Amino acid sequence: MTAVLLAGFIAIPTISPAQAAVCTPAAATPKQQFRAMWIASVVNIDWPSQTGLSAAAQQAEYRSWLDLAVSKKMNAVVVQIRPTADAFWPNALEPWSQYLTGTQGVSPGYDPLAFMVNEAHARNLEFHAWFNPYRIAMTEDASTLVSSHPARQNPSWRFPYGGKLYYNPGIPAVRDFVEDAMMDAVTRYDIDGVHWDDYFYPYPAAGESIPDSATFAQYGAGFSNIHDWRRNNVDLLVQEMGQRIHAAKPWVKFGVSPFGIWRNASTDPNGSATTGLQSYDAIYADSRKWVQQGWIDYITPQIYWHIGFATADYTELVRWWSTVVAPTNVQLYVGQAAYRAGASGQDPAWQNTTELSDHLTVNRGYLEVKGDIYFSAKDVRDNRINSISTLVNAHYTKPALVPAHGSGSAPAAPVITSAVRGANGVSLTWTGSGTEYAIYRLTAPAGECSFVDAANLIKTVRGTSYTDTTAAVGTTYTYYISALNRYHKESPVSAGRTEVPAGPFQVIIDGPTTASSNWGSSSFSSQRYGADYRFANPASVSDAAWFRANIPAAGNYKIEIWYPANSGYNNLTPHIIAASGGNQTINVNQRVNGGAWRNLGTFSLTAGDHNIVGVSRWTTGTGYVIADAVRITKV
């Protein structure tokens, strides 16, 4: 159903394929670009800043990280919630993380993951849950684990190596378990992505061999050497986890951030022109294969080297990874070493204020590069040598949409219901079926190329209202809004709405904002308002269809309803008015007086975005109850 606009509409021009071809997006303001930072919890790198903070202090710190991301025009955060075979959420498989309270297994007194996801979404930031699959502890001493820890209960599942403790990737039961542990968060929380870093088999430790020869003897049938078997173990983890994620929630993205070098060209002609550590050989990560097989949705190689670095040149690795993803549907985001910029002990190139910014300039030359993730949050905040500010000023002057992924159709275009200039800016309201909305602002009606990039994009939000506090006094704006679904598929933009001065508030809600599946849709009656209306059988249940509106200020409002009349409709349809003094119910005979606005009266309403009118099924009358449209006017 579509809300009706009362004034100030401007239609957008129809753009033909030939016209679209001449609309070249500006490289400096891409419309879709993933922008995120890693928020690391292991050894309290970023969050929480230390163990034992109160729940309120932890939450305040986390909000400050999200506010930092918003201030840098990022659109996602990647938060570590399972750093060492433990959890930042309550579950039956693994203990609470020690990085919350200082003691493994001790509850922090709230559900951090639920809190983190809700706070991120409130700012329209995607939340990617970062898991480390196999690392158990930052020490080899298993006695430091809580007694109920699965690694204590199953000592054959683990091995010590390089001063740390790991689950053995070669044991099928281990692989099943770590997948189950991660899927617990996927199925129970509204996360947007599953993210893994570069730790699978441990990085080589001098003088040590991975103690898994007995495991190879038990499970390595069909493999001529232990190295191919180890790579296959990791391949299975990646493939199976991707399948399980997409079976549970197809919109949740699965991404991996591997070491930046797959193989060197001197070893493998398919490799990059580099001479550094080869993750294929050293940690058994065949990341190129994961992309080629489409087991993941995005890949974020950690290209933590500067432009021109002889061993691993940033420019060469961006080129190489772009060729890897080019024939696939896997998106490429670059892992950026914010921790190096301006830090002591780094190569002199990292003392150059523009080094990180120059990386994004290189990226512009490759359409395959869809964004960047920065390690880590504290380095984004610290902004040493103004490296982050320089990057943001050069590349993030406008917001950006998260790149679309997956299949399926975009939602329908939303409808702007008001654009009113007030003391605090221009207040917008609209209706639509998106998970989020993109708001565009122009000083003139839209042209054929107005929406090909982010030049006119001012904000992305969840919800159906926004106040543009940046609207300059003395300038008249026209607003356009598009809707995006969980896959970030963008609808056509709405008809434009030019702002009007603040005056008597009026809004029309065409169709209930919320209604259960017991309410059907019909376009039978020509007396309907808009395209269709909702109907339901009477029942002695609390199952109202609610009309919701954003009331600008507390006060008295006239409420009118529209419905099609029919002799088969209900003669005592209850209309519940959520007035400030309590709900009031008015019964309406929907067999007569249809096809026009009918005044229910004037009511005192509270300010804010909330349910105003509910059409109830609980009636002694007979026939369908109808919910079609509501008009609210300030008096």
Residue 62 confidence (pLDDT) above 90: yes
Residue 140 confidence (pLDDT) above 80: yes
Please give the pLDDT value at position 505.
83
* CA-based nearest residue to 141, from 130, 129, 155, 131: 155
Cα→Cα distances 316→261, 309, 335, 365, Å: 11, 10, 14, 12
What average pLDDT does the segment 121-140 reach? 98
> Rounded to whole angstroms, how far apart are CA atoms 104 and 495?
55
Q: Which domains does the chain have, with CATH numbers?
A: 29-134+171-395 (3.20.20.80), 411-503 (2.60.40.10), 508-634 (2.60.120.260)
Q: Minimum mean pLDDT among 6-10, 176-180, 586-590: which range? A: 6-10
Query: Residue 392 has which token pair?
Result: 């943001």
What average pLDDT does the segment 574-596 reach? 96
What average pLDDT does the segment 161-175 reach? 98
Please give the pLDDT value at position 542.
86
Describe the chain by its helix, strand, coil percentages, rounded to 5: 25, 30, 50
**Is there a contact between 515 and 546 (Cβ–Cβ < 8 Å)?**
yes
Helix boundaries (H) for 272-313 = 279-282, 287-293
**Is there a contact between 458 and 468 (Cβ–Cβ < 8 Å)?**
yes
**Is there a contact between 1 and 415 (Cβ–Cβ < 8 Å)?**
no
> Rounded to whole angstroms, how far apart are CA atoms 126 and 34?
10
**Is there a contact between 297 and 333 (Cβ–Cβ < 8 Å)?**
no
pLDDT tens for each residue of 464-498: 999 999 999 989 999 999 999 999 999 999 999 99
Reduce the secondary structure of 352-389 to three states and give it as a string.
CCCHHHHHHHHHCCCCCEEEEEECCHHHHHHCHHHHHH
> Rounded to whole angstroms, how far apart are CA atoms 179 and 98?
21
Query: Residue 558 has which token pair?
Result: 């006239």
**Higher pLDDT pick, 14 / 152:** 152
pLDDT tens for each residue of 263-296: 999 999 999 999 999 999 999 999 999 999 999 9
Query: Residue 230 has which token pair?
Result: 């180890």
140 by DSSP, 3-state: which? coil
Sheet with strand 135-137: strands edge to edge: 135-137, 164-167, 158-161
Please give the pLDDT value at position 21.
52
**Is there a contact between 164 and 202 (Cβ–Cβ < 8 Å)?**
yes
Cα→Cα distances 314→188, 274, 278, 333, Å: 39, 10, 16, 14
Burial class (CB in 10 A: 0-12, 13-18, 19+), 593: exposed
Helix, strand counts (H, E) of the chain: 14, 31
Please give the pLDDT value at position 17.
41
What average pLDDT does the segment 353-360 reach? 98
286 Cβ contact partners less than 8 Å away, ≥ 6 residues apart? 231, 234, 235, 262, 280
What average pLDDT does the segment 82-110 reach? 98
Residue 20 confidence (pLDDT) above 50: no
Q: What is the largest CA-CA distance in the chain?
A: 89
Burial class (CB in 10 A: 0-12, 13-18, 19+), 311: exposed
> Looking at the whole model, is its pTM more than 0.85?
no
Q: Assign 504 a pLDDT band (cuts: 50, 70, 90).
A: confident
Cα→Cα distances 312→216, 309, 345, 360, Å: 33, 6, 18, 17
Please give the pLDDT value at position 557.
96
316 by DSSP, 3-state: which? helix
**Is there a contact between 536 and 519 (Cβ–Cβ < 8 Å)?**
yes
